[in-house]
Amino acid sequence: MFKGSFVAIVTPFKNGKIDEKAYADLIEFQIREGTHGIVPCGTTGESATLSHQEHERVVELTVEIVNKRISVIAGTGSNSTAESIMLTGHAKSAGADAALLITPYYNKPTQEGLYQHYRTIAESVDIPQFLYNVPGRTGVNMLPDTVARLSKVKNIIGIKEATGDMRQVSDVIALCGDNFIVLSGDDFTTFPLLTIGGKGVISVTANVAPRDVANMCNEYFNGNIQKVKGLHFKMRQLNDAMFYETNPIPVKTALSLMGKVSNEMRLPLCQMSEKNLERLKIVMKGYGLL
């Protein structure tokens, strides 16, 4: 169930509210293009500026629209353990297949604090759970020894690894074993991560090029390494463009250029600079998206 390309989907807004029609259309687009799963309410979904009510609505909408056709991994993490338990409990009741929990941000917990945070959530809500390590966003790096301890906790089944450090990812895979699911959290590391035992990616780029990201995973698992290498280099500039500015500014801008969502973000995120917008357009035209 948790193998392949999982899109870290944007949350479209219209006049300050969630654009449910555009969101449904995005999910249908993803399913048609072969994406293996939807990840709502992650960083790319602007979870930091969603109210609890909006967060819960987005998860419910996702489950309803997907209707068991592919997997739903709901973002439910917070820097408050109690809040994470609440959001994870809602994801379970809404029918999500799993939860994705970012390391607590700003608090900067110790490794023991991280262990207790995740163990408490896993023991409180009986749903498959993925850890999410992205120190560039959170200010804390969950080390491989801590991940290995957590891999032995019931309900914790994998990790989204977004350190960009392949040595650390290798250590995680070596320590946790083949049954622990390691997913890339950075599009540029998908290919190398697959080759050392990863099971797929939670992708930003899949918002705009879902078929290629899904095919990269499919071709890898079918043993067609040269095709995977080709897709890796085909997507290289597009992957870079998705981070010309803070995610999700570029990807949401790209989707608006494709006519799929409005170019509306919530402060403190703002519109892309004209300079970077022109750079983005050049890459998208070269890729065939415009």
Residues annotated as catalytic are: 132, 160
Distance CA 191, CA 130 (A): 20
**CB 233 within 8 Å of CB 191:** no
Locate all alpha helices (DSSP H) within 134-265, ordered by sequence: 135-138, 144-151, 166-176, 190-195, 210-221, 225-234, 236-241, 249-257
Q: In sequence order, which residues have a C-beta less than 8 Å from that of residue 10 and are 6 or more positions away? A: 26, 44, 45, 46, 207, 248, 251, 252, 255, 261
Give the amino acid at 34: G
C-alpha distances (whole Å) from 142 to each of 72, 82, 238 are 24, 20, 28
Task: With CA atoms as reference, report the closest residue to 290 among 256, 266, 263.
Answer: 256
241's tokens? 């463009």
Q: Are 206 and 5 in contact (CB under 8 A)?
A: yes
The full length of the chain comes to: 290
Instruction: Give the whole-angstrom CA distance, residue 254 versus residue 290.
Output: 9
15 CB neighbour count, 10 Å cutoff:
7
Q: Name, in order, each residue with C-beta under 8 angstroms of 233's C-beta and a sequence gap of 6 or more.
A: none
